[in-house]
Structure 1
Amino acid sequence: MRVAIIENTRYSDPGQVGVALAEAGAQVEVIRAYAGEALPGSPDTHDALVVFGGEQNARDDDKHPYLPQLAALMRAYGEADKAVLGICLGSQLLARGFGGDNLIGAAPEFGWQTIEPTAAGLADPVLVAAGARPFLSFQWHDDTFSLPPDAVHLAGNQSARHQAFRVGRAAYGMQFHFEAHRGVVETWNALFPDLVERKQPGWLARHPEYAATQGAQADAAGLAIARAWVALI
Structure 2
Amino acid sequence: MRVLVVENFADTGLGEVGVALAEKGAEIDLRKTHAGDPLPVDASGHDAMVVLGGAQNALDDAACPYFPALLDLIRAFEAKDRGVLGICLGSQLIARAFGGRNQIGGATEFGWHEVRRAEVAEPDPVFEGLPDRFPIFQWHDDTFSLPPGAVRLAGNDVAANQAFRIGRAVYGFQFHFEASRPLVRSWSTTFAHLIAGRNPDWPDRLEGEMEKHGAQADAVGLAIARAWTGVI
- Interval containing the TM-score (normalised by the shorter chain): over 0.9
Q: CA deviation at 1:201?
A: 4.1
Could you report, residue by residue, the CA deviation over 1:5-62 in whole angstroms, capped at 9, with x for unpaired residues?
A: 0000112200000000000000111011111111111111100000000111100001
State the distance in 2 between where 1:153 and 1:70 align: 23
Q: Does 1:90 align with 2:90?
A: yes
Q: Which residue of 2 aligns with 1:187?
A: 186
RMSD value, Cα:
1.1
Tell me whether 52-61 or 199-208 shows the greater mean CA deviation: 199-208
Cα distance in 2 for partners of 1:163, 1:90 equals 12
Q: Quote the Cα distance in structure 2 between the aligned partners of 1:164 and 1:91.
A: 8
Q: Residues of 1 paired with 2:197 and 2:121: CA distance?
A: 33
The 2-side partners of 1:73 and 1:231 are apart by: 22
| Matches of 1:132 and 1:113, distance apart in 2 | 14
Rounded to whole Å, the distance in 1 between the matches of 2:191 and 2:63 is 22
**Residues 170-225 of structure 1 deviation map (CA, whole Å, 9 limit, x = unaligned):** 00000000001001111111122243234334232121111112011100000000
AA of the residue aligned to 2:80: A
Deviations 1:74-106 (A, max 9, x none): 121112111100000000000010011110012
Tell me what 1:23 maps to: 23
Contact 1:114 1:136 in 2 (8 A): yes
Deviations 1:106-164 (A, max 9, x none): 211111111111111222111224x2110111000011011000000111001100000
Alignment-derived partner of residue 230 in structure 1: 229
Quick check: 2:117–2:131 contact (8 Å CA) kept in 1?
A: no
Please say if residues 12 and 187 of structure 2, whose CA atoms lie closer than 8 Å, have aligned partners that are also in contact. no
TM-score, normalization by structure 2:
0.97
5 Å-filtered alignment, 1:177-216, equals 177-216=176-215
Distance 1:206 1:140 in 2: 15
Aligned to 1:139: 138
Matches within 5 A, 1:5-84: 5-84=5-84
Instruction: For structure 1, list consecutive stretches of 5 or more residues without a partner in the other structure.
Output: none
Secondary structure in 2 matching 1:10: coil
Partner of 1:175: 174
The answer as to whether partners of 1:110 and 1:199 remain within 8 angstroms in 2 is no
Q: Is the 8 A contact 2:78 2:167 kept in 1?
A: yes
Contact 1:117 1:156 in 2 (8 A): yes
Aligned letter for 1:94? I
> 2-side partners of 1:199 and 1:118: how far apart?
30
Structure 1 runs (4+) greater than 3 angstroms displaced? 197-201
CA distance in 2, matches of 1:85, 1:62: 24
Secondary structure of the residue aligned to 2:128 is helix
Would you say the 8 A contact 1:196–1:204 is kept in 2? no
Counterpart amino acid of residue 226 in structure 1: A
SS in 1 for 2:17: helix
CA contact (8 A) 2:138 2:176 kept: yes
CA separation of 1:161 and 1:42: change in aligned 2, threshold 3 A: same
Q: Distance in 1 between matches of 2:64 and 2:226?
A: 31
Name the % identity: 53
SS at match of 2:231: coil
Q: Give the AA of the match of 1:144.
A: T
| Structure 2: unaligned runs, 5 residues or longer | none
Code of the residue aligned with 2:180 in structure 1: it is H
